[in-house]
């Protein structure tokens, strides 16, 4: 309920919190552009420091997924979803809230360190049931729910139900498609210092193709998405997979 959000936000402000983030979703069942625009205006009027705005992704083994398979989930068409995303970018810019990642916006200095850890392809601990971690070049997935998590620790001493050693090529691919989520894109000097190879040497054909189709800008310093590239981000990211 929207009123619950408003009350919670006011209570947080009154309690002294000066760094609040709000999450919004678009592309929801039955949602119109008008409905979403109203929600967005309400959220912006609150003056939060950070906003995460994601489109709905229907995941397997969920209620929405089962409804979709039965033809009972009525989602907005793709062109309307794209229009909602463009609406977000425009209204955030008008409000002085900078876009620093495909789905994240913040007042200057309030960019999420948590989010940027992922997009910078840095390592992090995964603690608790169902948590994902990335330490020493290995990605892990903890067991869940809590009982399975505890049982596995008691049996083996570790909570991992999945472990994957990330290869050098996988690290490089991840560096590209995660880094391109950021508005600043992939920093070429940082990439070279990290991997000892240049972006242009590793992905000449992909970069040329994406630049010719107007989805990226490739400068001497970095590679970043254009406006259309943000709308077709998944196509851009997939282009770097399996190229090495």
How large is the angle between the packed helices 33-46 and 78-94, nearest 10 degrees? 20
Asked whether the beta carbons of 224 and 185 are under 8 A apart, the reply is: yes
Contacts of residue 55, defined as CB under 8 A and 6 or more positions apart, other chains included, come to 25, 26, 27, 81, 84, 85
pLDDT (tens digit per residue) in 180-197:
999 999 999 999 999 999
CA dist 72 and 153 (Å) reads 41
Would you tell me how many other CB atoms lie within 10 Å of the CB of residue 224? 19
Average pLDDT over residues 6-29: 97
Name the fold adopted by 172-239.
Answer: Arc Repressor Mutant, subunit A (1.10.10)
pLDDT score recorded for residue 174? 97
Q: What is the pTM of this model?
A: 0.91
pLDDT of residue 1: 81
pLDDT at 216: 98
Instruction: Please report the pLDDT score of residue 93 as a whole number.
Output: 97
Give the three-state DSSP class for 72: coil
> Domains of the chain: which residue ranges?
2-111, 119-165, 172-239
The 3-class SS string of 109-150 reads: CCCCHHHHHHHCCCCECCCCCCCEEEECCEEEEECCCHHHHH
- Judge whether residue 138 has pLDDT over 90: yes
- Residue 4's pLDDT is 95
Q: Among 66-70, 102-106, 135-139, 181-185, where is mean pLDDT lowest?
A: 66-70
Residue 78 — very low, low, confident or very high, per pLDDT cuts 50/70/90?
very high
Closest CA to 32 of 80, 71, 88: 80
The mean predicted confidence, pLDDT, of the chain is 96
Two domains, one topology: 2-111 and 172-239: no
List 132's β-bridge partners, or say none: 141
In the predicted model, what is the mean pLDDT of residues 204-229? 98
What confidence category does residue 109 fall into, taking pLDDT thresholds of 50, 70 and 90? very high
Structure confidence at residue 150 as a pLDDT band (50, 70, 90): very high
Strands (E) located in 136-187: 138-142, 160-165, 186-187
Predicted pLDDT of residue 61: 85
87 contacts 33 by C-beta, under 8 angstroms = yes
What would the two tokens of residue 40 be? 């967005």
Task: Report the percent of the chain where pLDDT is more than 90.
Answer: 95
Residue 13: is its pLDDT beyond 90? yes
CATH number attached to the domain at 2-111: 3.30.750.200
Q: Which two tokens stand for residue 127?
A: 């603690």
């Amino acid at each position: 309920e929207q009123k619950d959000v408003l009350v919670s936000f006011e209570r947080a402000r009154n309690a002294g919190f000066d760094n609040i983030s709000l999450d919004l979703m678009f592309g929801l069942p039955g949602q119109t552009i008008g409905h979403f625009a109203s929600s967005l205006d309400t959220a912006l009027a609150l003056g939060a420091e950070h906003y995460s705005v994601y489109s709905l992704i229907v995941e397997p083994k969920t209620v929405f997924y089962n409804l979709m398979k039965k033809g009972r989930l009525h989602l907005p068409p793709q062109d309307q979803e794209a229009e909602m995303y463009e609406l977000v970018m425009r209204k955030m810019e008008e409000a002085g809230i900078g876009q620093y990642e495909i789905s994240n916006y913040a007042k200057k200095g309030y960019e999420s360190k948590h989010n940027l850890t992922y997009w910078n392809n840095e390592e992090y601990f995964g603690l608790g049931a169902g948590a994902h971690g990335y330490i020493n070049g290995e990605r892990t997935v903890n067991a869940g729910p809590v009982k399975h998590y505890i049982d596995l620790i008691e049996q083996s001493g570790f909570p991992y139900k999945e472990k994957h050693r990330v290869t050098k090529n996988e690290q490089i691919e991840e560096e590209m498609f995660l880094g391109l989520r950021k508005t600043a894109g992939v920093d070429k000097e940082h990439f070279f210092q990290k991997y000892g190879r240049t972006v242009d040497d590793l992905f000449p054909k992909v970069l040329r193709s994406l630049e010719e189709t107007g989805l990226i800008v490739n400068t001497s310093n970095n590679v970043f998405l254009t406006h259309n590239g943000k709308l077709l981000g998944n196509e851009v990211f997939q282009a770097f997979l399996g190229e090495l």
